[in-house]
Structure 1
Amino acid sequence: MTASMQVNGALDFKHVPQWLDKAKELAAAGELDLAGVTRADSAGLALLLELTRRAQALGKPLQLRNPPAQLVELSRFFGLDTLLRFTDR
């Protein structure tokens, strides 16, 4: 069964260390709702890649739901959109 967790606030260089403290729980959730993300930068993308890697190591996919446009555009710019599983509900 997939559990969904909310990700709210900034996913940027300043705030990523706080999210990394919860990385194990976030990666195991199976689904992250990103609708509450207010700002993101390359550090935020790196976090999502790390969470995706950790989820794969656990043998489960990580769905990234409701990403803000800024996050989708950044992932396309860096060529990461094929690695990150962004979906809208």
Structure 2
Amino acid sequence: MEWLLDGLLVLALVVTAVAALWSRNLFRAVVVFIAFGVLMAVAWVRLQAPDIALAEAAIGAGLTGVLLLDAVSHLASKRPRVQKQEGGSR
């Protein structure tokens, strides 16, 4: 039964890693990256390394995730807005 849990954990890690890399939406990529960090912390717990799991959860998912979300919000506010032109070309 433990091998099934470990297999699902590995599959979830691979899926979230691929989803974070291939996502075209930056916000979605950061959220998936945070989910990857949480899953990685669970993997470290399964490997009986609680100190590394705590560091991964705090730094990998927590601090890095917050910093990346802040960076995405700054990018979104700096992006120029495309205005629609009325009528034909001038």
- The alignment's TM-score, normalised by the length of structure 1, stands at 0.30
Find the structure with the greater CA-based Rg. Answer: 2
Structure 1 or 2: larger strand share? 1
- The alignment's TM-score, normalised by the length of structure 2, stands at 0.30
Structure 1 or 2: larger helix share? 2
